[in-house]
A = this chain, B = another copy of it.
Amino acid sequence: MAPPGRRAMVHRRTTIRDMPLFLEDFAVGQKYGSGKMKVDAAAIKAFAATFDPQPFHLDEDAARASFFGGLAASGWHTAALTMRILVEGELRPAGGIIGTWAEELKWPRAVRPGDELEVEAEILEVRPSRKGPAHGYVKCRTTTLNQNREPVQVLVMSLLVQTRREPGDQESK
């Protein structure tokens, strides 16, 4: 358990943006917060049974004897939880959160039973698409933090984002 003082110091902006964001609304340096989500041992084991059935994700005793020294969530579970938190967070591009490619994905430490995760997103780059005026790309770094503010995942991904087009614009096919 983390000392309660360290957890209580986390403050979140209270204004969740309800308006979808178009490419023109994004700028380098913007930050977007999220709510929090707890993960327990049952969820860690259930994900692993379906997608990553290795002993250190499935069984406490086997996990103690492994590299992880205790039950640890699959990195892909951490990634999936991050997406869930992100979809319900402040970053709301028009047309949805559509990832295209990532140039960095790392798991500096494992997610453990009882961890409470949140996600901070920062805009690193905004650029038009060469394929046409209807979409562009927003590169963002999402950092997934546990209840001690330690990063459990860092992901740098480019999202496909719609541009704000005037009414009557023809979609180029």
Chain A interface residues (CB < 8 Å from chain B): 47, 50-56, 66-67, 74-77, 79-81, 83-84, 87, 95-107, 157, 160
Decide yes or no: A83 and B87 within 8 Å by CB, A54-B97, A100-B106, A107-B100 being known contacts: no
- A107:B96 contact, CB within 8 angstroms: no
Complex: A75 Cα to B100 Cα, angstroms:
9
Complex: A169 Cα to B101 Cα, angstroms:
42
Q: Which of B76, B81, B95 contacts A79 (CB 8 A)?
A: B76
Complex: A55 Cα to B98 Cα, angstroms:
12
**Number of identical protomers:** 2
| Chain B positions within 8 Å of A105 at CB level | 101-102, 105, 157
Decide yes or no: A52 and B66 within 8 Å by CB, A101-B104, A101-B106, A104-B103 being known contacts: no
The prevalent SS among residues of A at the interface is: mixed
| Chain B positions within 8 Å of A56 at CB level | 96
- A51:B81 contact, CB within 8 angstroms: yes
